[in-house]
Structure 1
């Protein structure tokens, strides 16, 4: 995608949604870390359903350790891979208490040392909790970047590097959310809804999906 088209691509997404937010529910940086860690291979809707009650009572690593692994499992058993995730959340909570005084560090490298927290989770936390200009490449962003020609790459890391390179500075803060939401609701995996896409003319995807044909209205005449 040409430089001018990249700028226009983001400009339109920004105009449509000037202040995009994460769809994960959280109370503070700690609950955000937990929510993002739980969201791997799960939907935000499913995670929110499980954490809504959890986060009413548990908002610090200390409170999570007091709840314990078995107690946490009871809250999150509707989420995929909940056994492993519960183990990780307890372990990362312990590390936050032992190493960081119970506070979530505003540092990507430090975040990546927490059990169950990879680069994607660290990038989300840095962006959402601390306002850093990071782009966490999930399946939606990976697809949108490759399909549109915004930043092509065969790996998540390559796409992240490409996006870091081409995303103009006015849009870096919110790029992550615009791309996720666009992928989730418009540029869908199986059938992108090109007919209602505001950046379709800038996109490299050739077999544009036409609007679904309307069912012929039944004749009211007798």
Structure 2
């Protein structure tokens, strides 16, 4: 079900159960069929739980979308820093094949976030691990402090990725919890509707008091009986 259809289902289910519970002329009849006030309150409590889980699911997905946006922004910022430093390092170490290999200056850049971090993370770690590499970049204005700060920004992308993964897991779990409760509620409401159809069979006008979720009386045309064949 869509979010709007779930909201409508919960609203109509609440009206249905609350009316069955609060209107004496309905509650007294339903009690004869096993739907005591206590049983109806249990069903109402199920609705309250489903409503809470639906709200929680909305919150969790909001946090997931926020975490995704933060990850995207962090990755964009870090990649700009990385690409600039990479380009200047290629110039600085043009005649240093060993350094080019150690810093991964050649070849294409990986596109996945894990692949990107593997390259960018190793680049900054190896760069900072050798004072000669750092010194070669000073003529471009890249001090040790600047490179250390850029490495922190690059490492921060992984923190943002982990946050997004956590929020994604929580959002998925909230959806599963909500759906399980909705399934239980749907079964409970369906059972009550079936009982109402029987309980108010002789007084169908009472069904309208239950709201939009009330069962509809089905008027069926009796099947024609086959004529009994004459016997000789």
Measured against the shorter chain, the TM-score band is under 0.3
TM-score by length of 1: 0.24
The structure with the largest helix share of the pair is 2
Pair member with larger Rg: 2
